[in-house]
Amino acid sequence: MRVLIAYASAHGSTEEIAARVGMVLRQNGLDADVVPAEEAPELEGYDAFVIGSAIHNSSWLTPAERFVTRKAPSFAGRPVWLFSVATVGASSSGLGAFGTWMARKAGRLPKDLPALIARTGAQGHRTFAGVIRRDDWGRVGDLFVRLMGGRYGDHRDWHDIEHWATTIATALTARSAAARVQG
């Protein structure tokens, strides 16, 4: 089974998560190509897709959004998983307890997740915390980070990322086995 992992990353933390997902899929016997969304090849040769983006201003980056919109017809009948990389993830966070609670209560990111799911028919979406850099946030952002008890640095939970990737590998291996039995 061949899987395309397409990502959009402004400063590299999403790219590294995409690479780790690819590594886990390969360790589980799948073929995996990891490419920036804007450089994605034709999709015909792929059996499944993992698409991820950094979150900026509550949305996916343009290359990932564009990839999903342009390729929407190609996803039909092939499994897709989505991931987002933000300040607050499902299992770790760059903010303190109150900020994390507030961010999770404010709603799911990206804000157009329902449209992304509709276009891809995605089986699932997971949000990971990324790397929070002081330089990225400016003065007002810095104040926000402080008020929310945030800490600059790398907040990625590699255990959660690898676990998520393993669940994808398991689902695809089962799918492949079922197809062999039917065929």
Ligand X SMILES: Cc1cc2nc3c(=O)[nH]c(=O)nc-3n(C[C@H](O)[C@H](O)[C@H](O)COP(=O)(O)O)c2cc1C
Residues that bind ligand X (CB under 6 A): 9-15, 54-58, 85-88, 109, 130-132, 136
For ligand X, give the closer residue by CB, 10 or 72. Answer: 10
What's the closest the beta carbon of residue 62 comes to ligand X, in angstroms? Answer: 13
At 60, list the tokens. 């996916």
To the nearest whole angstrom, how small is the minimum distance from the Cβ of residue 54 to ligand X?
Answer: 3
Q: Which residues of 90-117 are buried (b: 16+ CB within 10 A; e: fewer)?
A: bbbbbbbeebbeebbeeeebbeebeebb
Residue number of the CB closest to ligand X reads 130
Q: Which two tokens stand for residue 132?
A: 């929070």
Closer Cβ to ligand X, 48 or 132, answer by number: 132
The residue among 47 and 136 lying less far from ligand X, judged by its C-beta, is 136
> Least separation, in Å, of the C-beta of 142 and ligand X?
12
Q: Which CB atom, from 4 or from 103, has the smaller least distance to ligand X?
A: 103
**What HEC string does 45-113 produce?**
CCCEEEEEEEEECCEECHHHHHHHHHHHHHHCCCCEEEEEEECECCCCECCCHHHHHHHHHHCCCCCCH
* Shortest CB 58 distance to ligand X, Å: 4
The CB-of-72 to ligand X minimum distance in angstroms stands at 23
In our burial notation (b when 16+ CB lie closer than 10 A, e otherwise), range 129-153 reads bbbbeeeebeeeeeeebeebebeee
